[in-house]
A = this chain, B = another copy of it.
Amino acid sequence: MTLHVEPPHAAGAFADARQARRAIRSGDWRGHTSGLAPAHVQGNLMILPQALASDFQRFCQLNPKPCPVLGVSEPGVRTLPALGEDLDLATDVPGYRIYENGEMVSEVGDLTKVWQDDLVTFVLGCSFSFEDALIEAGIPLRHVAQGRNVAMYRTSIPTQPAGPFHGPLVVSMRPMKAADAIKAVQVTARMPAVHGAPIHLGDPSLIGIRDIGKPDFGDAVAIEPDEIPVFWACGVTPQSVAMAARLPLCITHAPGFMLITDLLNRDVPYR
């Protein structure tokens, strides 16, 4: 199973979200979005036929930590003004993945040719925003420093099911010193729109992770003797759940090719 994981942060290129979206829309920017317009919130994308949308919306409401909804489009509508005045959901992400019956059938840079009048787009908060807040708070993040993907794991914690959507919670893990973990709880608790406070810390086996050295997605990262692993609900959860549900159609962003919104990271605690 291929999953949409977030790549490491890249150097910033655009100061402004609209400018970044325009470069992506025109095809001038074809890379991943990590570090682009760094002050702005980036979102995970889940595009579904309307027939599945209400179940997915309910799934998100039941599982707000892995699925913090930043915005939902009207059926068939490609704009989402609340997240960006000029935003076009079919063109403003540099890479989309199209799934049929749980299998990826194509990866495209533009959805205009495959757009359907019944498609509903969900934009979900992602950990880029809270990672910036952690770094800002003076907490070192090893995977960022090493230019790697964050380590992600399937857990034994079930999500609350809704319609066809069900399956285990996926978490991301960041190792840190205990004092930083305590600080990180305080920083991220204020950001429920981007996964919020951790869901676990310490012994990985208590949440069903057998080998912390072997993440299910992303890259392994060392845990030093004076560090503990800290686990956050991860935006890969809804993708994993949607694929397991073998939906007739589902479109997501490609790994690390996120939607750049007009929202500011600094406003996330107040959403």
Copies of this protein in the assembly total: 2
Report the stretch among A6-14, A19-27, A179-187 that lies at the interface.
A179-187
Q: How far is the CA of A206 from the CA of B202 in the complex (A)?
A: 14
Report the stretch among A78-86, A90-98, A193-201 that lies at the interface.
A193-201
Question: Smallest CB–CB gap between A67 and chain B, Å?
Answer: 19
Q: How far is the CA of A243 from the CA of B96 in the complex (A)?
A: 67
A200 contacts across to B, CB distance below 8 A? 178-179, 182
Interface range on chain A: under 10, 10 to 19, 20 to 34, or 35 or more?
10 to 19
- In the complex, which residue of chain B has the Cβ closest to the Cβ of A189? B186
- In the complex, which residue of chain B has the Cβ closest to the Cβ of A230? B182
A228 at the interface (CB under 8 A from B): yes
A267 at the interface (CB under 8 A from B): no
A186 contacts across to B, CB distance below 8 A? 185-186, 189, 197
Partner of A181, one of B179, B189, B201, B226: B201
Which has the most chain B C-beta neighbours within 10 Å: A178, A181, A199? A178
A185 contacts across to B, CB distance below 8 A? 182, 185-186, 189
Q: Are A197 and B178 in contact (CB under 8 A)?
A: no
Partner of A202, one of B189, B197, B202: B202
A226 contacts across to B, CB distance below 8 A? 203, 206
Question: Smallest CB–CB gap between A60 and chain B, Å?
Answer: 21
Known contacts A182-B199, A206-B226; 17 further A-B pairs (Cβ under 8 A): A178-B200, A178-B203, A178-B206, A179-B199, A179-B200, A181-B201, A182-B197, A182-B198, A185-B185, A185-B189, A186-B186, A201-B201, A201-B202, A201-B228, A202-B202, A203-B226, A203-B228
Q: Which 6 A-B pairs have the closest CB atoms?
A: A185-B185, A186-B189, A202-B228, A178-B200, A178-B201, A178-B202
Interface CB pairs A-B, < 8 A, 14 = A178-B206, A179-B199, A182-B185, A182-B197, A182-B199, A185-B185, A185-B186, A186-B189, A186-B197, A201-B201, A201-B202, A201-B228, A202-B202, A202-B228
